[in-house]
Amino acid sequence: MPSDHDEAPMPPLPEQQQSIPGTIADMDPKPDHGEESYKGSGRLSGKKAVITGGDSGIGRAVAIAFAREGADVLIAYLNEDQDAQDTAKWIEQAGQKAVIVPGDLSRAEHCRSVIDRAVKAFGRIDIVVNNAAHQMTFKTIEAIPDEEWEKTFATNIHAMFYLAKAAVPHMTEGSSIINTTSVNADTPKPTLLAYATTKGAIQNFTGGLAQLLGDRKIRVNCVAPGPVWTPLIPSTMPVEEVVEFGKNTPLGRPAQPKELAPAYVMLATDEASYISGATIAVTGGKPFI
């Protein structure tokens, strides 16, 4: 009997390139965020969530899943307005409240404004998913501009600190922070030096923050994806790498975004009440130490 995964993107993928940060509409094949397949069962009923990078990719899949599990969702994104509005429609179709907030998360003041919007809209915060990320490909260290290094750190790891710092006063016992790290935290790809370095920092940040917030009974975990078919890929990687994207995994393909969402749902539920400081690897079979 065929499964949903028979429709997963299989290398070689069509040649394609986009400008940063990329959009869903221009991707071939189109990514699957669970729009037609994710079935909720009330596991997050009544919870209030903030998801960064929630317009597309993993963030959109998580937003759809959270809403179908009963959570209201604020999605923060850079400037992909159409993708964000489409995600909001899926949240609302699930019967939940959707709030969308554009802006640059590399700025501390914007991170604080995102949390302020969530508190005003929802009254509290139960879940923060730190998922927004920036990456670019460079073949030599000399080719990496100083500004690019700084932007990658500001977006990928500094923002997590600013968001968590602002959100924690509005979180109570049982709340959950979920950070997106990467298989690159364990096996860094050299041409993604800045990105991979931040992903290692995210895993360390997660472990430290889990201990720091333990006495408040706020859990902190991270998910480490392998290759996932999102707009970030055709907008930040050379065409030849896009064509072969995900081929080197044991499953021989990249993940669809919807295949990541269940890990975030699990970590956000009350069922995961004793899981904190953990890394959940979703890598298509590639070992993660």
CB 255 within 8 A of CB 14: no
Q: What is the token pair recorded at 192?
A: 């993604």
The Cβ of residue 175 has, within 10 Å, a number of other Cβ atoms equal to 23
Angle 206-208-209 from CA coordinates, rounded to 5°: 65
**258 Cβ contact partners less than 8 Å away, ≥ 6 residues apart:** 4, 32, 33, 34, 37, 38, 61, 65
What CA–CA distance (Å, rounded) separates 152 from 281?
22
| Residue whose C-alpha is closest to residue 259's, from 52, 37, 54 | 37
Q: Give 223's strand partners.
A: 180, 280
Q: What is the token pair recorded at 86?
A: 């489409």
162 is catalytic: no
Which secondary structure element, helix H or strand E, spans residue 281, and what is its range?
strand 279-282
User: Using CB atoms within 10 A of its CB, is residue 19 exposed (0-12), middle (13-18) or buried (19+)?
Assistant: exposed
| Residue whose C-alpha is closest to residue 56's, from 97, 85, 99, 19 | 85
What CA–CA distance (Å, rounded) separates 246 from 265?
24
Q: What is the token pair recorded at 251?
A: 């499953």
Of 38, 77, 162, 195, the catalytic one is: 195
Write out the catalytic residue numbers.
Answer: 195
